[in-house]
Structure 1
């Protein structure tokens, strides 16, 4: 029987976009490959949030899937922490596969490192490499690193790795159409554009209950990192909007302290912070909210991305508030009706639109029909299996 090595740093029951993408995709792949292919998944034990701890077995076997979960050091999502975590994942993965022969490697990667691990294994075994690229890491580092000497050195190393990995790949899936121009220089791989999608738990939702509290609840759930830039928008917007609106921020991350400092500086009382919750609990919180919020920092790299959060929030019948630029801005404008759309950090744009907004709800039927995760996974799994 043939074997696929499936690499994803995040997997269920972890709480993040990487886990939500790869857990159902792997199951669909196993379903289509049943009786013909074994899928060996190497991932990590849940670690996305330092403050959310949920148990998971280090090894699992489910029909034609095996799951190895690597224990990585506790971290707070800082840059050095992430390097240390990946080093552990890299070396443990190499130990797990020692003596095993595969027919192809599939790697889902947002920070390039998982793609690099996939490349090292595929090249050594002389087998096809299928990459699922969720972010352009060199772009992000170019924006995030402020020290010019450090930036030059890091980018030189990353671009060299990128060149080797992408030139070797047999097939590259780009999660955002905004990545297309960046990858035009890599001619060898075949390309596909399977985006994120709407998970089954966000389908068939009941209509929103009426809000009789007199206060509109704006909910954000996810990472509180430099990439989201919440500290640049929420404290200022909350102050301008006043007590008629309340922000609920659910999550954790590397710049949570900056957000807390911003709230203190603006002296606002209409923002509540809550630790990460399970997806089941989050569904209930979204249901009780009036607006669902999304924001990315004002980085050039983020003009190419398509956040998975759009699909989650767009499945509800509630208005979406989104501070994004580039491809994501265009995508929401074209595909997600009933939105308040502004550029990252534009407090004036957000506040003025919200104050002038006539509240309305309604499910986005066309959007839901077009972007069901199940449908996307079925096609993507077929695409992967074509190389075995």
Structure 2
């Protein structure tokens, strides 16, 4: 947001409509419903708590949709920017832009239509995918420009929407993580080491398919700490208990400052995506903050994520998702040292990426308002 305000003319203003923090029912942060600054207005919509299930999320989105349409009625904008990891949020942005008669800049963080076939039952997908495919087509075709956060998304979108304007501005590293990066190399201590996973515990991450198995293989050498919540947390807990794993701990979500401290205390940072075709296209945002902290990274990913890690992230070991034997082998290849990744941090600092994105948005608004 700061990058956009710095790029816009002095007489321009920005209105942000978002939600109150509500990702997990087990963790919430308070934020004012309305913030007004000289050139910036932020409106937050309070939603019902949810447990990351489809029904809960659908109800929450309907509440968001009604509130957004009410807030934007009869409003005029030069450009609407919609960022979405869920297709319907992007579609809502398209509707607001159409009512306002202005260009739409989409920021796509997931391919919803491609993902549901992997994470939902076949009988549900059979019913939903045709409808969501139509919504996707209408939404993408309504956009003047589309940013995708992973270059792995480009083949999907370009093959389906050859007339579209697509750009790639990836996720980046927030200042808090840059400030917390190590200054020099430091080897891990002796004895049992800590492997940390922090983030969503859902079907997309598939932690229940891998952590209990590798934890048993490394009992006495490694202890695993999982910080987060999500739709598969209970499955992970059950798999840990049924496997009699004594070296795995699950903790609820924590604030960012405590999370950074947890990263710094860990010896290895763990990342995993389930073995689904859709996840071969993604680039997890978690990877950027992991890499900034300088810890060895143990990643069960495939496709574009694996290519990206091998090219850009030193001291990171990649294995095929859900493959225990490859995971064990990959771990042994890691160097147990924390050291700065200066080149990566410089290239993928969020401030630098957001400045470039802001310039692109302002250019679009300027070119279509003449």
Normalised by the size of structure 2, how large is the TM-score? 0.95
2:103–2:144 Cα contact (<8 Å) kept: yes
The whole-number CA distance in structure 1 between the counterparts of 2:226 and 2:9 is: 42
Counterpart in the other structure of 1:179: 153
2:188–2:336 Cα contact (<8 Å) kept: no
Q: CA deviation at 1:361?
A: 3.1
Counterpart in the other structure of 1:336: 313
SS at 2:340's partner residue? Answer: coil
The whole-number CA distance in structure 1 between the counterparts of 2:357 and 2:24 is: 28
Counterpart in the other structure of 1:345: 322
SS at 1:287's partner residue? Answer: helix
Aligned counterpart for 2:63 among listed residues 74, 82, 88: 88
Aligned counterpart for 1:291 among listed residues 263, 268, 283: 268
The whole-number CA distance in structure 2 between the counterparts of 1:341 and 1:215 is: 22
The whole-number CA distance in structure 2 between the counterparts of 1:168 and 1:53 is: 34
Counterpart in the other structure of 1:8: none
Structure 1 gap segments, 5+ residues each: 1-25
SS at 1:106's partner residue? Answer: strand
Q: What do the CA deviations read for 1:326-379 (whole angstroms, capped 9, x no partner)?
A: 000000011101011101101111112324544233212211111111110000
Counterpart in the other structure of 1:136: 111
The whole-number CA distance in structure 2 between the counterparts of 1:376 and 1:358 is: 30
Q: What do the CA deviations read for 1:10-65 (whole angstroms, capped 9, x no partner)?
A: xxxxxxxxxxxxxxxx2211222252321111100110121112111011112211
Counterpart in the other structure of 1:51: 26
Where do 1:267-306 residues align within 5 Å? 267-306=244-283
The whole-number CA distance in structure 1 between the counterparts of 2:346 and 2:189 is: 31
The whole-number CA distance in structure 2 between the counterparts of 1:359 and 1:169 is: 46
- 2:188 is the counterpart of 1:214: no
Aligned counterpart for 2:137 among listed residues 163, 169, 179: 163
Q: CA deviation at 1:211?
A: 4.4
2:105–2:144 Cα contact (<8 Å) kept: yes
Structure 2 gap segments, 5+ residues each: 366-370
Q: CA deviation at 1:233?
A: 0.6
Aligned residues: 362
Q: What do the CA deviations read for 1:95-136 (whole angstroms, capped 9, x no partner)?
A: 111221112110001111111001111122221000000000
- 2:220 is the counterpart of 1:246: no
Aligned counterpart for 1:258 among listed residues 226, 235, 242: 235
Counterpart in the other structure of 2:343: 366
The whole-number CA distance in structure 2 between the counterparts of 1:212 and 1:336 is: 23
The whole-number CA distance in structure 1 between the counterparts of 2:225 and 2:203 is: 18
1:198–1:373 Cα contact (<8 Å) kept: yes
2:75–2:100 Cα contact (<8 Å) kept: no
2:194–2:266 Cα contact (<8 Å) kept: yes
Q: CA deviation at 1:300?
A: 0.6
Q: What do the CA deviations read for 1:224-266 (whole angstroms, capped 9, x no partner)?
A: 0110100011011001111210001001111100000110111
SS at 1:217's partner residue? Answer: strand
- 4+ residue runs over 3 A deviation: 206-213, 355-358
SS at 1:28's partner residue? Answer: helix
Residues 47 and 179 (structure 1), Cα distance of their counterparts in 2 relative to 1, 3 Å cut: same
The whole-number CA distance in structure 2 between the counterparts of 1:289 and 1:62 is: 39
Q: What do the CA deviations read for 1:178-200 (whole angstroms, capped 9, x no partner)?
A: 01111112133322100011111
- 2:170 is the counterpart of 1:195: yes
Aligned counterpart for 1:99 among listed residues 74, 79, 99: 74
SS at 1:46's partner residue? Answer: coil
Aligned counterpart for 2:3 among listed residues 14, 28, 44: 28
Normalised by the size of structure 1, how large is the TM-score? 0.90
